């Protein structure tokens, strides 16, 4: 029986990846943003980034409530509701795709709420099924979120266009228009996301993997267990994690929101710039696995510090090395940024669990994840305003690079809090 449950946990991991594949739609936004800047829509870059920011902010805010619901109701019901909202949001958007307020409502609020409702469910469930491989399993769980953007961007756009590799794929936007493409993805999210959500469940009380013994925690380690949300937000460590999330995620979300437009403005073809979106998405997914595994070896905050410094380096390199001017240069930058950005979604969940325990993890991580929502408003809109006002993204990259340096310094000094609770 124990062996069957251990084998069954891999099916739950697959379900989580399927669901996250759909939730990652938000990271393919620059493909749709580039379409909205063209005729007949002619949106400004700031307009496109407002929809993106509303989706990200709604995602983070709704997750505060959904995380607590997940802790009480279990992952399946909450995840099914989230997959439904995401699919319905895209289907509704397909009816009037050029109307700004309609897109804010459907893709920003409804679809964003769907992502926020479902997002913590597979992470929390998989964390309970894989206490022996926490960093790696969390990385795999959120890999689908990053890879989903690659899947959606290359099938929506002109496929893959790189030196020596041109694959046209489906070209949904060219063949079906923006409205038709949104309808297709909405149906896909309902079916695939719903099936992935249906597979999720928590392990029985007291279950543990065969052959695995939980580490005995005494002294300083003892204090890491089971903080309530109200206790957690009173600690400086919570605010340090929140600040790091804001500073580090701003760089990645800013780049994701503008990448295709940035590539086109730098002189690349739409296909080549769209390919960079797909590359960023692949490495976004890979970064969750790589940094999750790395953090199992060297620790969460040390991994964070290294990752934030590397992200800062690329923000400055985009300005001083003009990487966006060539297909290869933009592909390298996209891969680098995706790899570092993706790591946030393996490291912040595992750091939250290690600092504040698993019992109230859904509710607690939702509070830390508010940093992502703030970054989702700040990064993309700041980039749009910079470009619309000054004709250049340079200042946006400088600001985000500086914030990543600050995040790295915070990671170096952040330690697990000490929980003043009685030992039983």
Residue 160 has a pLDDT of 58
What SS3 state is found at 163?
Answer: coil
Count of alpha carbons within 13 Å of 412, Cβ hemisphere only? 9
Residue 3 has a pLDDT of 45
Report the CATH number of the 2-204+222-413 domain: 1.20.1250.20
Residue 219 has a pLDDT of 44
With vertex at residue 155, the alpha carbon angle to CA 150 and CA 157, rounded to the nearest 5 degrees, is 95
Domain ranges of the chain: 2-204+222-413
Residue whose C-alpha is closest to residue 253's, from 209, 284, 228, 211: 284
pLDDT tens string 349-383: 889 988 998 778 778 888 998 998 899 899 999 99
Q: Decide if 253 contacts 56 (C-beta within 8 A).
A: yes
Residue 424 has a pLDDT of 39
Euclidean distance between CA atoms 377 and 380, whole angstroms: 6
Residue 293 has a pLDDT of 85
The length of the chain, given as a count of residues:
424
pLDDT tens string 315-335: 999 988 888 888 899 999 999
Q: Which residues pair with 165 in a beta bridge?
A: 162
Residue 222 has a pLDDT of 43
Residue 225 has a pLDDT of 65
Q: Which residues pair with 162 in a beta bridge?
A: 165
Q: What percent of the chain has pLDDT over 90?
A: 42
**CA distances, 75 to each of 63, 65, 115 (Å):** 13, 13, 14
Query: Does residue 167 register a pLDDT over 80?
Result: no
Q: Decide if 185 contacts 152 (C-beta within 8 A).
A: yes
Query: Does residue 387 register a pLDDT over 80?
Result: yes
169-189: average pLDDT: 89
Residue 170 has a pLDDT of 65
Tokens standing for residue 203: 């392990």
212-238: average pLDDT: 72
């Amino acid at each position: 029986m124990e062996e069957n449950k251990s084998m069954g946990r891999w099916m739950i991991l697959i379900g989580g990846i399927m669901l996250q594949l759909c939730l990652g739609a938000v990271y393919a936004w620059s493909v749709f943003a580039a379409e909205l800047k063209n005729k007949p829509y002619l949106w400004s870059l700031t307009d496109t980034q407002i929809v993106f920011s509303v989706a990200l902010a709604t995602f983070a805010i709704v997750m505060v409530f959904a995380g607590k619901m997940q802790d009480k109701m279990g992952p399946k019901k909450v995840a099914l509701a989230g997959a439904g909202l995401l699919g319905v949001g895209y289907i509704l958007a397909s009816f009037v795709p050029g109307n700004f307020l309609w897109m804010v409502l459907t893709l920003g609020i409804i679809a964003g709420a769907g992502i926020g409702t479902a997002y913590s469910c597979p992470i929390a469930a998989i964390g309970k099924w894989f206490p022996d491989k926490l960093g790696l399993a969390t990385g795999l769980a959120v890999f689908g979120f990053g890879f989903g953007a690659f899947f959606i961007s290359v099938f929506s756009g002109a496929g893959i266009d790189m030196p020596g590799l041109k694959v046209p794929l489906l070209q949904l936007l060219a063949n079906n228009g923006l409205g038709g493409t949104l309808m297709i993805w909405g149906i896909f999210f309902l079916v695939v996301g719903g099936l992935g959500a249906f597979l999720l469940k928590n392990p029985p009380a007291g279950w543990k993997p065969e052959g695995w013994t939980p580490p005995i925690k005494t002294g300083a380690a003892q204090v890491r267990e089971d903080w309530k949300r109200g206790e957690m937000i009173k600690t400086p460590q919570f605010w340090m994690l929140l600040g790091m999330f804001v500073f580090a995620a701003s760089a990645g979300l800013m780049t994701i929101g503008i990448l295709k437009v940035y590539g086109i403005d730098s002189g690349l073809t739409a296909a080549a710039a769209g390919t960079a979106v797909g590359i960023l998405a692949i490495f976004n997914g890979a970064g969750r696995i790589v940094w999750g595994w790395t953090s199992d070896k060297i620790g969460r905050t040390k991994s964070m510090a290294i990752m934030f410094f590397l992200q800062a380096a690329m923000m400055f390199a985009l300005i001083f090395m003009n990487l966006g001017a060539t297909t290869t240069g933009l592909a390298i930058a996209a891969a680098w940024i995706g790899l570092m950005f993706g790591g946030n979604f393996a490291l912040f969940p595992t750091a939250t669990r290690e600092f504040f325990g698993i019992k109230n993890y859904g509710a607690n991580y939702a509070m830390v994840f508010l940093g992502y929502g703030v970054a989702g408003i700040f990064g993309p809109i700041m980039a749009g305003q910079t470009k619309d006002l000054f004709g250049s993204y340079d200042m946006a990259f400088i600001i985000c690079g500086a914030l990543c340096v600050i995040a790295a310094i915070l990671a170096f000094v952040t330690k697990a809090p000490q929980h003043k609770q009685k030992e039983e």
